[in-house]
Amino acid sequence: MTTYPIAPDALTKPHLEPIRFGFGRGLLAAGELDERVVALCADLTESTRMHLFRDRFPERFVGVGVAEQNLVTVAAGMAHAGMIPFTSSYAAFSPGRNWEQIKTTAALNDQPVVVVGSHAGVNVGYDGATHQMLEDIAIMRVLPNMRVIVPGDSLEAERATRALAADPAPSYLRLARDKTPIFSTPDSPFEIGRAYLLADGRDVSLIATGTMTYHALVAADALSRKGISAEVVHVPTIKPLDSATILSSLRRTGRAVTIEEAQVAGGLGGAICELTAAEHPVPVLRLGMRDRYGESGGSTELLEKFRLTGTQIAEDVDRLIQG
Amino acid sequence: MTAAQAPAPEPLASIATRIRAHVVDMCAGPEGGHLGGAFSCVEVLTALYFSVLKVDPQRPDDPARDRFLLSKGHAAQALYATLAERGFFPVEELAGYGRPGSRLMGHPVRAVPGVELPTGSLGHGLALACGFALATRYAGGDSRSFVLLGDGELQEGSVWEAAIAAASLGLDRLVAVVDRNGLQLTGSTERIAPMEPLAERWRGFGWAVRDVDGHDASALADHLAAAPWEPGRPSVLIARTVKGHGLPFLAGRTASHYVTLSERNHARAIRALRATDAAS
């Protein structure tokens, strides 16, 4: 049933690249296509990969200094005057620090400001808890008019960035720092508001977003060897949520496991619980950060600590199914 | 092209008195209003809308317009009265202020013709105006962006983030006015969070600064028309004002911040405004 093209060696020998690199390429491409696209950054231009745009279009780049409140409010003013601004910083600071500005000056006014939050999740190496943004999906998802996009790999981040520039509206784009596996291909689809079926199954739906989609694929593969047939639903748009695709998967499998590198409260896990409770009640296991902050460590070490690797996810799903 | 505003046929001072009378009427409604801070900025708004701003009430979205933001959005009643007097919408609509279904809410929203963006959450206006000024720079043209800040509002850190950026980006088509009435909700700004020497603070941030009697509409207009005063620098005009100016029983009092006028005080206020008008 699934037709989503997956990279041939995705599970055995995946190509690795930071998701934020795709954003950098996508923004550059969007800038070539539309001269209304402008970029604003709070002194993290290379970290967020905005330097590609800055170097090509210096006149359309604004460095505001370490000032995230100003970052998004200036962007809202520019959007009101006809530009399509992309703002970037670490997610811990934007939208972490400037949520009220995002709400009042961009979302409330339906201004096409794209808030790009990089280094989200626990995936920030040794920076530790102050720099690990885990609540961003929850706080952005609750804003009326706001779209929330969490690409699964760098290729998808590139597609998502171009799609956001071509369809201006208030948006949040969540990026990760470290290298992560590329599971999609240059021909894989991306549409704002669509979820994608990556693997068919009967017993359980693994509903994943961002960096966790790859781990869901690994888990499904491991589960198949135990005779458990897991469907993988990739949700790169958390808002608006593709309810039809998700519900149709749950009608087939009757069980949901949500997987995200974020707080499950209010995150994808929260969104799926809201959907299922209202439309099609099924048991939901929410994997991700459960009401705690992160800590310092290598990305793989931290994912293991929080039981977010493919193998561990398969173990938890197996336990769920065996009851 | 937007036509420049023709010189007002009547003195700015008498327009200001009419605007105050509208505010007094609105503050006599069941919800009252932010009378003190509305009154302190009436001459600033009068100077802008009847002398300085390149705006066309028939085409409020003209891309070549000057843009204005009332960052101290709680002075909405003064803005509504000014926009109505200037022809953006009928003066009669002011009677519906604050009523269910009216677009004239306690803080301005975009549904009101002439309002660029909602304000009232303090600390946003200067940065939004920076955005306007940057967009103008990219688009070309000679329009300017104006923003009116409250002096209590200057306690918001985001104002100073924007002040740094405006100077470092050389936004000299940006003009800020500070309504320096010296009072905020709970008392004197200097007692709560001292900010003098205010002019030096702005200068230190890289702005061109001027100081003016904020109730002298002609002087305000002259300064605002002349901006930018220093090439490459944004301009800030510190308008020395009195909260509740024009009403002897409220002027300069913290209690003027939010007022619901009784019938008796409404009549007193109207009499006081008439006396001011006759004397001017």
Nearest to B127 among A70, A100, A109 (CB): A70
Return the pLDDT at A123.
Answer: 86
Do A81 and A165 fall into the same domain?
yes
Do A99 and A236 fall into the same domain?
no
Would you call A67 and B136 a contact, using CB atoms and an 8 Å cutoff?
A: no
- The residues that bridge with A147 in the sheet, in sequence order, are A171
CA B7 to chain centre: 20
Return the pLDDT at B6.
Answer: 57
Would you call A64 and B161 a contact, using CB atoms and an 8 Å cutoff?
A: yes
Last residue of a domain, one of A147, A181, A215: A181
Do A207 and A145 fall into the same domain?
no
Q: Which pair of tokens denotes residue A207? A: 């509903």
Q: How far apart are CA A279 and CA A275, in angstroms?
A: 6
Q: Does residue B165 sit at the A interface (CB-CB below 8 Å)?
A: yes
B133-169: pLDDT as tens digits: 999 999 998 999 999 999 999 999 999 999 999 999 9
Q: What CATH number should be reported for the domain holding residue A289?
A: 3.40.50.920
- The residues that bridge with A90 in the sheet, in sequence order, are A118
Residue A146 lies in a domain: yes
Q: Does residue B111 sit at the A interface (CB-CB below 8 Å)?
A: no
B68-101: pLDDT as tens digits: 999 999 999 999 999 999 999 999 999 999 999 9
DSSP-derived secondary structure letter, A255: -
Q: Does residue A77 sit at the B interface (CB-CB below 8 Å)?
A: yes
Last residue of a domain, one of A181, A210, A226: A181
Return the pLDDT at A125.
Answer: 76
B34-72: pLDDT as tens digits: 999 999 999 999 999 999 999 999 999 999 999 999 999
Architecture label for domain B13-279: 3-Layer(aba) Sandwich (3.40)
pLDDT tier, B279 (very low <50, low <70, confident <90, very high otherwise): confident
Return the pLDDT at A225.
Answer: 97
Q: How far apart are CA A104 and CA B119, in angstroms?
A: 8
Do A113 and A21 fall into the same domain?
yes
Return the pLDDT at B116.
Answer: 97
Residue A188 lies in a domain: no
Do A168 and A238 fall into the same domain?
no
> How large is the average pLDDT for residues B227-236?
98
Would you call A70 and B157 a contact, using CB atoms and an 8 Å cutoff?
A: no
Do A265 and A242 fall into the same domain?
yes
- Clarify whether A68 is annotated catalytic: yes
pLDDT tier, B276 (very low <50, low <70, confident <90, very high otherwise): confident
Give the CA dihedral A92, A96, A101, A102, nearest 10 degrees: 80
Do A107 and A204 fall into the same domain?
no
Give the CA dihedral B92, B98, B102, B106, nearest 10 degrees: 110
Return the pLDDT at B4.
Answer: 56
Last residue of a domain, one of A181, A206, A241: A181
Q: DSSP string spanning B113-181?
A: TT--S---STT-HHHHHHHHHHHHHHH-S---EEEEEETGGGGSHHHHHHHHHHHHTT-TTEEEEEEE-
Domain that holds residue A206: 196-322
**ipTM for the complex?**
0.91
- How big is the A-B interface in CB pairs under 8 Å? 93
Q: How far apart are CA A278 and CA B14, in angstroms?
A: 61
Q: Which pair of tokens denotes residue B258? A: 């939010």
Residues of chain A with pLDDT under 50: none
Nearest to A81 among B132, B168, B169 (CB): B132
Residue A8 lies in a domain: no
Domains in chain A: how many in total?
A: 2
Q: How far apart are CA B34 and CA B37, in angstroms?
A: 6
Do A125 and A256 fall into the same domain?
no
Task: For residue A125, give how far its alpha carbon lies from the nearest alpha carbon of chain B (Å).
Answer: 29
Q: How far apart are CA B170 and CA B262, in angstroms?
A: 49
CA B200 to chain centre: 22
**In contact, B77 and B38? CB cutoff 8 Å:** yes
Nearest residue to A111 (alpha-carbon basis) of B97, B122, B226, B117: B117
Nearest to A74 among B63, B110, B130 (CB): B130
DSSP-derived secondary structure letter, B58: T
Do A176 and A208 fall into the same domain?
no
Domain residue ranges in chain B = 13-279
CA A134 to chain centre: 11
Residue A10 lies in a domain: no
H or E segment to which residue A187 belongs: none
Nearest to A67 among B67, B117, B164 (CB): B164
Q: What CATH number should be reported for the domain holding residue A131?
A: 3.40.50.970
Q: How far apart are CA A197 and CA A204, in angstroms?
A: 13
- The residues that bridge with B69 in the sheet, in sequence order, are B147
Do A201 and A159 fall into the same domain?
no
pLDDT tier, B9 (very low <50, low <70, confident <90, very high otherwise): confident
Return the pLDDT at B7.
Answer: 52
H or E segment to which residue A94 belongs: none
Task: For residue A108, give how far its alpha carbon lies from the nearest alpha carbon of chain B (Å).
Answer: 9
Scanning A104-163 for CB atoms below 8 A from B yields: 104-105, 108-109
- Identify the residue among A73, A84, A99 best suited for mutation to test binding to B, counting B beta carbons within 10 A and taking the highest: A73
Residue A76 lies in a domain: yes
Q: How far apart are CA A45 and CA A42, in angstroms?
A: 7
Return the pLDDT at A64.
Answer: 95
Q: DSSP string spanning A130-176?
A: GG-B-SHHHHHHTSTT-EEE--SSHHHHHHHHHHHHHS-SSEEEE--
Do A274 and A224 fall into the same domain?
yes
- Identify the residue among B69, B117, B122, B161 best suited for mutation to test binding to A, counting A beta carbons within 10 A and taking the highest: B161
H or E segment to which residue A297 belongs: none
Do A237 and A317 fall into the same domain?
yes
For residue B3, pLDDT beyond 60: no
